[in-house]
Amino acid sequence: MEGLMITGKTKILGIIGDPVEHSKSPLLHNFISVFKNIDMVYVPFRVEKNNLSAAINGLRALNVIGFNVTVPHKNNVIQYLDKVSEEAELMGAVNTVKNVDGVLYGYNTDGEGFLRDFKEETGQSFKGKKVVIIGAGGAARAITVKVVLEGAQNIIILNRTEDKAKALSDYINEKLRNCSCYRGMGNNEVKNEIKECEIIINTTSVGMHPEIDKSPINSDGFFTERHIVYDIIYNPLKTKLLEAAEAKGCKTVNGLGMLFYQGIYAYEKWNDIVFSKDEIELFFKRFKEIVITS
Ligand code: ATR
């Protein structure tokens, strides 16, 4: 395998966000391009909040073939795009943009990436399941929409700020299906909901590096081995929440796979290709090495 060779024909991909320095996406996408011998390079662009419109115009003018969008632009970018997928519209967030002859198409591969990883790791689906979502921000909305579209029976949103939990719950009930309710974070409320549910998903950043001693819920004694606990955090790979769940015998999954698959789906969209199972396995193995060593 040869290294990256930039020529006059090389196509440009990138990621816009602020910050972007920590992003693993350049490593993943450039590895894939080199491996597949596709003449593309993926670069980070730090774009401040008030420069978003100028940045999108610039990317269009420069004819980049696509880009990812991360914090804080996932919502605001929508107004500058020409078309947005139905799912991204429902999620209120776009993380992947494809430029087709100057027309910018917006997608959300976070939800798809989450779902794929969940299925791969647990062998289960959301059909008929009772699911607790911790958090009510942007990540919570994307994941909740996906989980409801996948046929979950019941969604309980737990959030520190109850008003935000109510707003997300109302939104789901109005736009998708009447299947959602919300609770505060009081110990008894959390305990009762967890006792009743099968799947718990943490969508907050609580427990993320450097605050690795924090957990979004005090889970002592709430988990049993029939629970699946998914934490979208990937740094650290085992959060305090996952550690507590694992100690009780739950199936636990961290956010590394979600990060990986959202990137895979973006790359497939930009290039109109579908990777084979073997390729995905190889890319994931390499991605894990990249994340651990970078
Ligand atoms: P994202 O787009 O990553 O979801 P966000 O929209 O800012 O980010 O949402 C962050 C979520 O994490 C919210 O649910 C937030 O709870 P509040 O609505 O009460 O702010 C939750 N969160 C962040 N820090 C938290 C903390 N220290 N304790 C509890 N919840 C926290």
Q: Is the dihedral of CA 188, 190, 193, 196 positive or negative?
A: negative
**Token pair for residue 55?**
């940045």
Common-topology check for domains 11-108+257-293 and 112-254? yes
CA of 136 to the centre of ligand 1 (A): 7
Strands 251-253 and 66-69: unpaired
Structure confidence by residue, pLDDT tens digits, 77-133: 999 999 999 999 999 999 999 999 999 999 999 999 999 999 999 999 999 999 999
CA of 137 to the centre of ligand 1 (A): 6
**Residue carrying structure tokens 């776009």:** 94
**pLDDT reported for residue 9:** 96
Mutate to test the pocket of ligand 1, among 144, 159, 204, 217 (most ligand atoms within 8 A of CB): 204
H or E stretch covering 228: strand 228-231
Q: Which amino acid is at 72?
A: P
Q: Is the CB of 164 under 6 A from ligand 1?
A: yes
**Mean pLDDT of residues grouped by 10 in the chain (294 residues)?**
81 98 96 96 98 98 98 98 98 98 97 98 98 98 98 98 98 98 91 93 97 90 94 97 96 98 98 98 95 82
- Work out which ligand 1 atom sits closest to the CA atom of 160: 19
CA of 6 to the centre of ligand 1 (A): 41
Nearest residue by C-alpha to atom 26 in ligand 1 = 206
CA–CA separation, 33 and 44 (whole Å) = 16
Catalytic residue selected from 11, 49, 74, 191:
74
Which CATH architecture fits 11-108+257-293?
A: 3-Layer(aba) Sandwich (3.40)
| Domain regions of the chain by residue span | 11-108+257-293, 112-254
Which CATH architecture fits 112-254?
A: 3-Layer(aba) Sandwich (3.40)
Q: Which long-range contacts (CB under 8 A, 24 or more apart) does 70-78 make?
A: 70/15, 70/16, 70/17, 70/20, 70/23, 70/95, 71/17, 71/18, 72/17, 72/18, 73/16, 73/17, 73/18, 73/47, 73/49, 74/138, 75/138, 76/49, 76/52, 77/16, 77/52, 77/106, 78/106
Q: How many other CB atoms are found less than 10 A from the CB of residue 139?
A: 25
Nearest residue by C-alpha to atom 5 in ligand 1 = 137
Q: How many CA atoms are closer than 13 Å to the CA of 136, on its beta-carbon side? A: 24
Scored b (16 or more CB within 10 A) or e, 21-48 reads: eebbbbbbbbbbbbeeeeebbbebbebe
